[in-house]
Structure 1
């Protein structure tokens, strides 16, 4: 349930992008299901998904977040589970799926298009998102939301030091809004900001974390519309 309101000292909103402003994880899930169908001759879906997740964990430090790293991890997994016997056309199809994901149009989540312009009139908006630099820039341009942000930060990780570097002395006047407890909520709170969690429909295994205890700077909202209401009631 949403808490009553944020403190009136909040002047800056940090906003995550993927699965906070627009859909993202759903496309990964759909592609992962197609990948399981393609590799069904070598391994059932559940253990295959575990193998793919393990490859993503191993490769995160090399490839970072995003579709390109996911695609390379799928190729690696296909080769490994087939013991090098996967046909070339399957590798080709994996690369095609990755390109399709990169070219997929942006789908804003409910309430974003209506509420974000109103929030931009009252708060300084700062985008803080992980992922591939080029693709995140493309998605922001396609979203039509770019002009609403006073600053944009596309980062390799979201640690306490990330929020300290971005918001500095303004942390006490900042609220971070995002779908990931691990990346958007816990480090922002630890850095000294407030935080608003919007649970997504899907949660990537590598972003799972326990929610923090109830406190005066941690808030929950069931949708972006509720975020707007939470802020505007101050």
Structure 2
């Protein structure tokens, strides 16, 4: 069976002839920098707005013109400066790859997430909406990465999903499960662990119960011997 993330949005420029990149990376950082993200405006042929993020060793500019969903979000808030200050940009790095995950539009602990790749100037992904980012796991050869997100379910358990990305082709990957049940994805089950078996397959462990109701999950957590089920997914591009 095949599963593809439902909340995927390809973001292109409204004008294909634009030379503006979605994300720009500046490796030199001034001695004194603004720690919070800020809105900056660049005056060239046309005025353009960017959100500037200062990381430890670099500055990142994200073009509002090239990311319509981010631009529309800021048009709908009452205080743009406050909304931008609450954004968080995280660099997810391996030896040969670095991508950036932007957290925005947060309500309590749940946020939306945009994924950027600095070497791909015209493409970004909305990978999750109204959830919480948990962790990332690179494949053994670091050519792929799995992003782990969850939603609150109870004090003892969240409901989870994963998004897989091919870092060499900059594509989201499908998760295929030929032998088991792929309904553990898309925030239906709590994940106990996520591991790479090799560079093409992952295994996800879930509680060994009939269904993830609050009653059954509470009882499972009280067992001394908590049995689990491992589900294997192969990662492929369409």
Normalising by the smaller structure, the TM-score range is: under 0.3
TM-score in terms of structure 2 length: 0.26
Which has more helix, going by share of residues? Answer: 1
TM-score in terms of structure 1 length: 0.26
Greater length-normalized contact order (CA 8 Å, ≥ 6 residues apart): 1
